[in-house]
Structure 1
Amino acid sequence: MQAQALLHLLQLTSPSLPIGAYSYSQGLEAAIENGTVKNEAGARAWIVDSLHEVVARFEAPILWRLLQAFSARDASAVAMWNERFIAARDTAEFRAETIQMGYSLSKLAIDLKIGDESLLDLMVTQGEVPLPTALAYSAVALNVPHDAALLGMLFAWAENQVLVCVKSVPLGQVAGQRLLLSLQPELDAAARTAQELADDELSNWSPGLSLLSMQHEVQYSRLYRS
C-alpha cells in the first residue's frame, strides 16, 4: 500500500475519529452485566464468536460490497446495500448506533471535501446513512485499497470491543493488548470470509445478541449507548 493510502486508513480507523464509536458496546456491556463475560478468556470468546458469527457474515460483507459499488459508481448497488444494512438492525439501539456514526462520518467526509463530484452525488442521494456506507464512501474517496479498508474496519471493531472489556470487566491494559494480538489471525480469517460469501449466504441471525441489546436498553446502570 502507498504511504498516503496507509495514512488515510489509519486516520479513518483511529479511535480519535470524531464519530462516537467509543460510546457503544454493541451488547457487550449487557453481557458483562449478566456474567456472560467476566474475565480475559470470556472476553476473547465473546469477541471471536461475535466476529465470526455476526460481523464476518453480515457487516463486513456489506462493507465489501459497498466499497465495490462506490468504486464502480453503481448507484443502485449503493442504495440496495445501504437499505439492507439499515433494515437488518433489529433493535432500537443497534439502529441508532449505526445511523449516528454513519451520519457523523459522512458529514465529516463532506466537510473535509474528500471525494469527487460523482462520489458525492452517490452519498447525498442516500436517505439515512449507516456506518458501513459512510466508511466505504470515505475509503474509496481517499483511494484506500478495498482489502485494507475491510481489515481496518474489522480491527477498529475489535479494538473497541477490547476497550469495553478493559474498562468494564475490568481487564488490565496488558491483558487488553494481549487480547488484541491474539485476535490478529481471527481478523484475517474474518476478512477472507467477508470477501468469499455469496449474497444469499449473508446472515445477521444472532437472537442472543439481539436480546442482550434489548436488555441493555433498560439496564439500570450503564456506561455505553448500546
Structure 2
Amino acid sequence: MTSPDDPARDLLTLSQWLSPAFPVGGYAFSHGLDHAVSVGDVSDAASFAAWLGAVLRHGAGRSDAILVAHAQSGGDLEALNDLAAALTPCVERWTETLAQGRAFVRTTNALLGTDLPLDCAFPVAVGAQARALSLSTSTVASFFLQAFASNLTSIATRIVPLGQTEAQAVLAGLANDIATLGDLAAEARLDDLTSGVPGADLAAMLHETQEVRLFQS
C-alpha cells in the first residue's frame, strides 16, 4: 500500500489504476457509442466532441464523478452502489459498470490487501479504494473522468474512424470541462445526481438489439 504522506507516489498509483493497462476491460465497452456511430449520429470529430461532451457534462461522466467523490469521502458504499444501479438506463450500461467494478476490485484487493466486495459499480469501487491515497477528492474524480473520456476517445479513433491527432484534439478540448467537473463533484451532494442525455441513453438501449455489435455496450 502507498504511504499516506506520499502524494507523488499515490498519484502514480491512481494513474496505474485508471490506465488502459489495468485489467478492468474498459476497451470492451463503448457506452452506446457503437450504436451512435452505426446510425450516423457520430461521424466526425465535431459530432464526437458534442457527444462526448454531453455525456461528460450531463450524463454518466458527471454522475459517476459524484459517486467517486462520495465513495472516497466515506459514504455508505452499499447505498452508493444502489444509486449507481438506479442511474443506469439499461442492462448493458449496468453490465458495463459492474463488470469493470468487479475487475477493479479483484485486482486492487490483491494489491492493497483489502476486502472490498466484488459486486461494486466501477466509480464506487474507485472511490472506495482511493480512501487509501493522500489525494484530493477533486483530483481522484478528475482522473476518473479523464480515463473514461480517454477510453471513449480510443474507441472513436477506431470506429468513426478519426485520425489520431484529431481524436486527441477532441480530448484535449475537454480538459477544462473535466477539471471543472472534478471540482464540482468534490462539492456535490447526492441530491445533485442527475442525468440528461437521452440520445446517449437511447443509443445504449438500442445497442442491446443491434445486429452487428463491435462492443459489449
| Structure 1 and Structure 2 fold alike (TM over 0.5) | yes
- The residue that corresponds to 2:105 in the other structure is 106
Contact 2:139 2:182 in 1 (8 A): no
Contact 1:6 1:144 in 2 (8 A): yes
Among candidates 50, 59, 65, match of residue 45 of structure 1: 50
Distance 1:184 1:206 in 2: 20
AA at the equivalent of 1:46: W
**Alignment partner of 1:158 is 2:157:** no
Contact 2:67 2:127 in 1 (8 A): no
Runs of 4+ in 1 over 3 A off after TM superposition: 142-145
Q: What is the 5 A alignment of 1:1-226? A: 2-69=7-74, 77-115=76-114, 120=115, 123-124=116-117, 128-226=119-217
| Structure 2 residue matching 1:43: 3-state secondary structure | helix
Contact 2:7 2:134 in 1 (8 A): no
Q: Which moved more, 1:46-55 or 1:200-209?
A: 200-209
Distance 1:84 1:42 in 2: 30
Gap runs ≥5 in structure 1: none
Contact 1:44 1:179 in 2 (8 A): yes
AA at the equivalent of 2:176: P
Distance 2:147 2:69 in 1: 15
Pairs aligned (count): 212
CA offset at residue 181 of structure 1?
A: 1.4
CA offset at residue 82 of structure 1?
A: 1.5
- The residue that corresponds to 2:3 in the other structure is none
CA offset at residue 220 of structure 1?
A: 1.6
Shift in CA distance, 81/97, structure 1 to aligned 2, threshold 3 Å? same
1:145-178 C-alpha deviation (Å, 9 max, x unpaired): 3222111100001101111110010001111221
| Structure 1 residue matching 2:162: 3-state secondary structure | coil
Identity of aligned residues (%): 28
> What is the RMSD computed on CA atoms of the aligned residues?
1.8
| Structure 2 residue matching 1:156: 3-state secondary structure | helix
Contact 1:5 1:145 in 2 (8 A): no
Distance 1:143 1:105 in 2: 19
Shift in CA distance, 156/206, structure 1 to aligned 2, threshold 3 Å? same
Distance 2:180 2:136 in 1: 18
Contact 2:137 2:186 in 1 (8 A): no
Contact 1:56 1:191 in 2 (8 A): no
| Structure 2 residue matching 1:221: 3-state secondary structure | coil
Contact 1:99 1:130 in 2 (8 A): yes
